[in-house]
Amino acid sequence: MGKSLKKIETQVKDKDLIELRRMEIVKAAVDLFVQKGFHKTTVREIARKFGMSVGTLYEYIRTKEDILYLVCDYIHTSFGQRVRPALEITPDSVKTLNGAIDTYYRMIDEMQDYLVFLYQETKSLSHDARKYIFKAEEEMTEIFEEIINRGIEDGSFKIDKAEAGLFAHNIMVLGQMWAFRRWALQKHYTLDTYIEAQSTRLLSELTS
Amino acid sequence: MGKSLKKIETQVKDKDLIELRRMEIVKAAVDLFVQKGFHKTTVREIARKFGMSVGTLYEYIRTKEDILYLVCDYIHTSFGQRVRPALEITPDSVKTLNGAIDTYYRMIDEMQDYLVFLYQETKSLSHDARKYIFKAEEEMTEIFEEIINRGIEDGSFKIDKAEAGLFAHNIMVLGQMWAFRRWALQKHYTLDTYIEAQSTRLLSELTS
DNA sequence: CACGAGACTGAACGCTCGTTCAGTCTATAT
DNA sequence: ATATAGACTGAACGAGCGTTCAGTCTCGTG
């Protein structure tokens, strides 16, 4: 959390307490938002789950939208924290990309609900907040783009460098598809067979 | 519209008038929903744009959610009406698929706003309505699947028949990506170059 | 012309929900 | 022990919104 977060003014003075309470608020709100959506969740419900009164809740935020922002930020940083360390760059570009796809797709599987929620409620955010979320998504794309570019440079991948960006988007979207179209895909695939099918396809395209 | 639509009871007797007015309601609501989202659009606003009073509006629907359903149904049938006729099956499977991708992707470009809206508000629909929308999406996938299967049978495409379904999903999702990630893609691609890049990639995969 | 059915109107109702604030509790300092 | 700052409480406020309904208008029919 934290640095990247646009300052939200509060009544409470103690900085550490603010961080602590906000984390509790987010934890309480995430589940409700994912389950019922932002608009159908009331501040009272959040407060009850948070274990404190509405009044107290409002000591740590200004508006309901602040909670949405905190939740979106939390989800995105959770993604980041989980992918980045898993993405070790090895000399073998094929292996690196395979590993990156594997971790990213598995993470999507774990965080399906969060991902769908993010896409559905982004619109409800203010313009600034939305831009921040997009930036986070773009950073993720750049990681894949860099791996591809390395592979092109060392001769592992045979595509035009101009297409590396598009290819990175494709990788991500085909992963996100697992979350958005589970109703259709999970009839025929398990997570493992899905990753297998998509990554062999993607890799063979790159190396052909 | 019509047949597939779950019956919504009304006060008004004249069947044709109901159809006419509902079409007017949908036309008025679509723009507002796309622009501001379902929850932030008020029934009053719709009525004003519809050019009649709230009371009259409520002679043709029961609840606000009925409007959402009418709008979602309208968008989806618009899609269907536009794609199906354009999808002529020719003896040349490669050409057929290329044509199908081209029309589908162009349609997505035209209906970007509607598509994004559908994904974002699906959750607000009742369970039955949601199932109906999913079915429409699945039918679209099956069209692509059939084209691919024909191509496999006549020897144009060299992939395993078990993967035809997944491939059909990939085609659709990569098209929808144009709508969902325009903020990133439209910096580097125009619609034409995007279709070109994706379809040559997809086709070369199938025929390799 | 009189009448009534059906379409239309919009003020009013009632409920929900975000937000506030006057007041209570707690813990530390004097 | 007393005072005070800071955290917490939840009833109350008020705006907004979906929905209704008593009443008006219109037009075809007897």
Radius of gyration of chain B (CA): 20
Q: Which nucleotide lies closest to A40 by the C1' atom and the CA atom?
A: C17
Please tell me what DSSP assigns to residue B188: T
What is the average per-residue pLDDT within A116-124? 88
Q: Please check whether residue A43 is in contact with residue A64, taking contact to mean a CB–CB distance below 8 angstroms.
A: yes
The per-residue pLDDT for A25 is 96
Whether A105 contacts A202, CB under 8 Å: no
Q: What share of chain B is helix, strand, coil (3-state, %, to 5)?
A: 75, 0, 25
pLDDT at A46: 97
A188 with B173: Cβ contact below 8 A: no
pLDDT at A82: 82
CA nearest B123 in A: which residue? A37
Q: Tally C-beta pairs within 8 A across A and B.
A: 67
| Amino acid B2: pLDDT | 33
For residue A1, pLDDT beyond 60: no
* Interchain proximity A138–B184, CB inside 8 Å: yes
Residues contacting A143, CB < 8 A, separation 6+: A83, A84, A87, A100
Q: Are residues B104 and B153 in the same domain?
A: yes
- Chain centroid offset of residue A122 CA: 12
Residues B127 and B193 in one domain: yes
Distance CA B62, CA B8 (A): 7
- Does residue A186 share a domain with residue A87? yes
Contacts B165 to A, Cβ<8 Å: 188
Which two three-digit tokens encode residue A11?
């009544």
Say yes or no: A72 and A169 in one domain: yes
CA distances from B78 to A61, A189, B22, B58, B110 (A): 43, 31, 15, 25, 12
d(CA A32, CA A117): 11
Nearest Cα neighbor of A71 from A102, A103, A33, A107 is A33
pTM of the model: 0.87
Q: How confident is the model at residue A4 (pLDDT cuts 50, 70, 90)?
A: very low
A42 CB and strand C closer than 7 A: yes
- Residue A45 maps to which CATH number? 1.10.10.60
What pLDDT does residue A159 have? 95
% of residues, chain A, pLDDT over 70? 93
Predicted pLDDT at B46: 97
Cβ neighbours of A198 in B, within 8 Å: 166
- Please report, rounded to a whole number, the percentage of residues in chain A having pLDDT higher than 90: 69
CATH code, B156 = 1.10.357.10
A59 & A77 share domain: no
Which of A165, A170, A184 has its CB closest to that of B174?
A: A170
Q: Is the pLDDT of residue A102 over 80?
A: yes
Q: Which domain holds residue B90?
A: 68-207
Q: How far apart are CA A94 and CA A154, in angstroms?
A: 11
- Minimum Cα–Cα distance from A180: chain B residue: B119
Q: By the 8 A CB rule, do A67 and A46 touch?
A: yes
Per-residue confidence (pLDDT) for residue B132, from 0 to 100: 81
pLDDT of A133: 80
Residue B52 lies in a domain: yes
Nucleotide of closest approach to A54 (CA, C1')? D10
The list of chain B residues with pLDDT below 70 reads: 1-14
3-state secondary structure chain A: CCCCCCCCCCCCCCHHHHHHHHHHHHHHHHHHHHHHCCCCCCHHHHHHHHCCCHHHHHHHCCCHHHHHHHHHHHHHHHHHHHHHHHCCCCCCHHHHHHHHHHHHHHHHHHCHHHHHHHHHHHHHCCHHHHHHHHHHHHHHHHHHHHHHHHHHHCCCCCCCHHHHHHHHHHHHHHHHHHHHCHHHHCCCCCHHHHHHHHHHHHHHHHHC
The closest of A64, A97, A103 to A82, measured between CA atoms, is A103
pLDDT digits (tens, 9 = 90+) for B119-146: 898 888 888 778 888 888 888 899 999 9
Q: What is the pLDDT of residues B154-167, one digit of tens each?
A: 999 999 999 999 99
In a domain, A6, yes or no: no
Q: Are A112 and A39 in contact (CB under 8 A)?
A: no
Q: Cβ B173–A169 below 8 Å, yes or no?
A: no
* Residues of A with Cβ-Cβ distance to B163 under 8 angstroms: 197
Residues B61 and B123 in one domain: no
At residue B17, the pLDDT reads: 81
The tokens for B194 are 């995007």
- Asked if A173's CB is within 8 angstroms of B173's CB, the reply is yes
Structure tokens at A76: 């995105």
Which positions of chain D lie under 7 Å from any protein Cβ? 6-12, 16-22
Residue-averaged pLDDT of chain A: 89
A94 touches strand C (CB under 7 A): no
Number of domains in chain A: 2
Contacts of A124 in chain B (CB under 8 A): 37
Domain identity same for B182 and B159? yes
Closest Cα of chain B to A47: distance in Å? 22
- Shared-domain flag, residues A74 and A60: no
Range A117-126 average pLDDT: 86
B150 and B56 assigned to the same domain: no
pLDDT band at residue A12 under the 50/70/90 scheme: low
